[in-house]
Structure 1
Amino acid sequence: MTFQRPELIGLIPAMLFVVSVAILGHWRRGVRLVDAYGGRQAAFRLIGRRVDLFPSLRLVSSFLGVALLGSVFSGIAPVQPEEAPVTPVDLLIAVDVSQSMTGNDIEPSRIAWAQRLVEDIIGAGVADRVGLSIFADWSYHLVPLTDDSDVVSFFSPWVVPSLISARDQGTSLGVLIEDVIEEWERRSRPDASPVVLVVSDGEAHDSQDMVITSTRSAVESGATIWTAGIGTVSGAALTLTGSTAPLLDGSGLPVVAGYDEELLRQIADVGRGAFHQIEDEASIRSLIADLRSVSGRTETIEEPASDPTVWLLLIGLALLVFEALLDAGLTTRRAP
């Protein structure tokens, strides 16, 4: 407990002294009155109550009442828990919108889960600033780093493969990471922790060495690279956009969307981030909880300590009223 006006606490002993002098003085007058009336029985017949009993109950109730009211007037208040320090986070979300993300091995589709992931992350408020990019063979910045989450939410439905040209349907994770880091460096803050979240099936067309080299460069610049994998090892046969006809390669064979979990894990490991497999709502919540840990945020909101002022005031007044009833002799009437 703390006191907003601690200088008033020193008045409580003085008030207790005054109250005790008044009550004891009243008791002494009662004793002298009994002697003047010729004894307890004569005094009781005339007054109707005992006035020579030591007022221990009156003293206790008045002392407690004065102490409680003095605490209220001193501005007693609960000690609020200190908030844990929070590190500002700049989160850059990069979503793979290559043709392989239309695979439906995870219903309704990989890209649908990517959209849901982006929306849930934005809604959870895990970062101070958020940027949104899409990528295939090249990356495109939909939303630069901003503290207006509504802007990012507005563009999240545009995270679809049809947004980019048909000739740009590869997946270049290395180019993406380099481009996203350049975007952050243009808008960097010295006190912020940059986090890049790559949402992809990991089916990259560039070499693994190139991807890992880009990841190391990102770490050297101060960023951490997280990955969210969407897909299954069995993959899914792709269809032509707007049709149920299978998509065929140059040899006339159906194109199957692959999934490279191992590469995504390596990126997260080298990037000093974390890998999360996205397959249901629980996995999204797990990723969001881990992202909160970067800044020190917590999902649970601590309830502020309750203010005891009202209760102390009511109890203090009740004790003083009780003392007044004792003084008036309305609570007990004892025969001599």
Structure 2
Amino acid sequence: MSLSQFTAPWWLLFLAVIAALVVGYVLVQKQRAKHTLRFTNFALLEKVAPSRPGRWRHIPAILMVVALVFFTVALAGPTADKKVPRNRATVILVIDVSLSMQATDVEPTRLAAAQEAAKSFADGLTPGINLGLVAFAGTASVLVSPTTNRDATKVAIDNLKLSERTATGEAIFTSLQSIDTLSAVLGGSDQAPPARIVLLSDGKQTVPENSDDPRGGFTAARQAKDKGVPISTISFGTTYGRVEIEGDRIPVPVDDASLKEIANLSGGSFFTASSLEELRQVYDTLEEQIGFETTRGDASRPWLVLGVVFATAGLTIALVRRQRLP
């Protein structure tokens, strides 16, 4: 713990006073020893003080010194990092419902696993966060506007339906619009509440074909960056996934590259998951990142508690063993 982590570091100068007290105590003990040696009649000394105190007599003084050190540190105002739940933030959960999500490389299907994990994610977010839901295939729709009502979001997740094509850019633009709408409704602050998009997909964008198109995923990611909204992308599935469409087995491998680029362009994070358990782990990580913020807070209480404990112990031992305070 450096001096910069104290709000009143000048109190640490009192440690020099404590050190002086320790030196004084040692000198007094040595002086007492010299006075004892002045008795030339050791027989008389044995009658006057038949049982001289041992080293245990120093314990109360040592405990009191340690207590003073703890009290001094507490007075100096130590601080520490603390995780504080976010109460004013917006998260848009974006789920790909293109036909490739019916692949069974993730049991029972990619979509079913994504639905189960998404509901757990909704339950795990801190209560003060506004959670919205966007589903996308060839187009994107806001199924639930950002709200603290988790039940509405979970019901909508259960009712997700598959459709054709993949418009990743539209999903991001729709999410950004939903965030802007909530910010306008909330108002009351010069600074918009922090927001993040969590986008789960398994395939490459097909509408439009070029991700740098004005409505493409990369363009949308750049706009998200400009708005200060990072996108956490999750590539969900495997490279060997297949779906059956009109009797044909069509490969639907995950597209890590484009999803990673979207995360990078927006200032967000990229994750991969090829099973329900891995997806849950990703969501657990995101819950920690999104649901809490780290702040510097007062950390003097533990030092005060230790000071009280050591001071009490020192006084108790002194009274029990010597019937007087040290």
Cα separation, 1, equivalents of 2:58 and 2:241: 80
Aligned match of 2:252 in 247, 258, 263?
Answer: 258
**61, 79, 82: which one pairs with 2:80?**
82
Q: CA deviation at 1:174?
A: 2.2
Q: Does 1:228 align with 2:234?
A: yes
Q: What SS class does the counterpart of residue 274 from structure 2 fall into? A: coil
Counterparts in 2 of 1:137 and 1:41: CA distance versus 1, 3 Å: same
Report the CA distance between 1:195 and its aligned residue: 1.7
Q: Is the partner of 1:218 in helix, strand or coil?
A: helix
- CA distance in 2 between counterparts of 1:73 and 1:271 reads 48
Partners of 1:202 and 1:70 in 2: CA distance: 64
| Sequence identity (%) | 19
Q: Which residue of 1 aligns with 2:186?
A: none
Residues 112/321 of structure 1: CA separation in 2 closer, same or farther (3 Å cut): same
Instruction: Summarize the Cα distance change of 1:152–1:132 in structure 2 as closer, same or farther, 3 Å threshold.
Output: farther
**1:318 to partner: Cα distance:** 0.4
Q: 1:67 to 1:178 in 2, by over 3 A?
A: closer
Partner of 1:100: 100
Report if the CA contact (8 A) 2:135-2:143 is conserved.
yes
What is the identity, as a one-letter code, of the residue corresponding to 2:181?
R
Cα distance in 1 between the residues matched to 2:116 and 2:281: 11
* Cα distance between partner residues in 1 of 2:73 and 2:222: 56
Q: Please state whether the residue corresponding to 1:195 is helix, strand or coil.
A: strand
Superimposed CA distance per residue, residues 76-109 of structure 1 (whole angstroms, 9 cap, x where no aligned partner): 6896642258787532111122333122121121
Question: Aligned pairs, how many?
Answer: 285
Matches within 5 A, 1:242-281: 247-248=245-246, 253-254=247-248, 256=250, 258-261=252-255, 262-280=257-275, 281=277
Q: Which runs of 5+ in 2 are unaligned?
A: 184-188
What is the CA-CA distance between 1:315 and the residue it aligns to? 3.0
Shift of 1:176: 1.5
Q: CA RMSD in A?
A: 5.0
Corresponding letter in the other structure for 1:205: T
Q: Answer yes or no: is the 8 Å Cα contact 2:66–2:310 preserved in 1.
A: no
The residue number in structure 2 matching 1:185 is 180
Q: Which amino acid aligns with 2:252?
A: G
> Which structure 2 residues correspond to residues 39-118 of structure 1 after superposition, within 5 A?
49-50=48-49, 60=58, 63-64=61-62, 81-83=79-81, 89-118=89-118
CA distance in 2, matches of 1:99, 1:135: 11
Structure exhibiting the larger radius of gyration computed from Cα positions = 1
C-alpha separation in 2, matches of 1:122 and 1:256? 32
- Structure 1 residues not aligned, in runs of 5+: 239-246, 328-336
How far off is 1:180 after superposition? 0.8
Partner SS state of residue 138, structure 2: coil
Q: Measured at CA, do residues 50 and 264 of structure 1 come closer, stay the same or move farther in structure 2, by a change above 3 Å?
A: closer
Alpha-carbon displacement from aligned partner over 1:29-85 (angstroms, at most 9, x marks no partner) = x9xxx9xxxx775796xxx542898x8979856655765787899996896642258
TM superposition shift of 1:117 = 3.4
SS of aligned partner of 2:196: strand
**Structure with more of its chain in strand, by fraction:** 2
